[in-house]
Structures are given as C-alpha cells and as structure tokens.
Amino acid sequence: MAARVATTSFLEADRDQNNRVKVTDDGREQALAAFAKNVEESAKNGELFTKLAPDLVLKTLARFVPEHCRAVFQSIKHRESGLDSFVRVMLRYSFDSLKGQSYRKPKERALIESFVAIDTLKTHAMERLKDDAMDYPLRAAWRAVIEEKSIYGKDGTFGEIDP
C-alpha cells in the first residue's frame, strides 16, 4: 500500500489521478523514510517476497529512495544467496493469456542497478543457469538477466519485441 501511495503521490504520470490517499509534498521526506525503513525490515526478516506486489515495492524504493537499495539487496542475498526471488519479481515484464508471465530487464536500468550492478547480476545468472535441475519459469527469469529479450516463463520462448 505504501508503494502505491508513493507512486500516486510522487510520480508525475500518476499525480493527476483523483486518488484520495496521497502524501503532500511537505510530507514526502518523512513518508519515504518510513517506507524505506519498512522495506529494509521486511527484507531483513524474510517477509518481503511474501507481501503483495514485491516488484512494486522494490521498484518504488529504487525510484524514490535508491540510497536504501543496497542494504535491502544485502538482506535479500543474506537470506537467499541464489537471489531467485529477487530476479523473479524484478524482471516480471508482461503477462499473456496463453503463455503466461514473461521476464525482461526493465528499460529503466536504475531499477536494477540501484540494488546491484548489472554485470554482477549477469555473472550470478550464468552460475545459476548451470543448474540443470532449474526449470521454467525461474530459468526464464535468469535467462532474461543475460539476454536482451522478453522470455516467457512457461516454456522459455521469446516474447514480443518492443518498438
């Protein structure tokens, strides 16, 4: 909920909507500090990926308080060295009624790079993909780290190409 309030309050594209729950510009700093603290605690105690829309939470953190992203990433990595949950949520791209979820690196590279360098994540992806027991959709998410394409989690086929 806090991530949604932040986006409707502070993202220009969403500000003109008639949302009833907004933070004033005067309350921005305090609201974002509280949000960042809550995300850090959630990552530390292992609950982040059990929450509704962890992708929105992490991307909102990267957009508004990126200085907290490295600490959140370290907590995630400490709890799950494989980083599978992180990659699954951060690379969620589109959903197709036939092929299901696809994965792709966000166009806004800062959404990932606020947490970890892309090259570091690529190196980790190459190691993870050596696991022959790894199946789709996780394999699609890790492939998407390396390949510059949208990849369907159902079967690993390529998704539509963006203009």
Cα 106 to Cα 93: distance, rounded to the nearest angstrom: 8
CA–CA distances in Å: residue 140 to residues 13, 111, 128: 30, 19, 11
Evaluate the CA torsion angle 152, 54, 23, 20 in order and state its sign. Answer: positive
pLDDT of residue 62: 97
pLDDT of residue 129: 97
pLDDT of residue 25: 75
Both tokens of residue 41?
């605690």
Neighbours of 76 (CB within 10 A): 21
Both tokens of residue 122?
């690529």
Q: What is the pTM of this model?
A: 0.84
Burial level of 22, CB count in 10 A (0-12/13-18/19+)?
middle
pLDDT of residue 3: 66
Ranges of residues in the chain whose predicted pLDDT is under 50:
14-15, 163
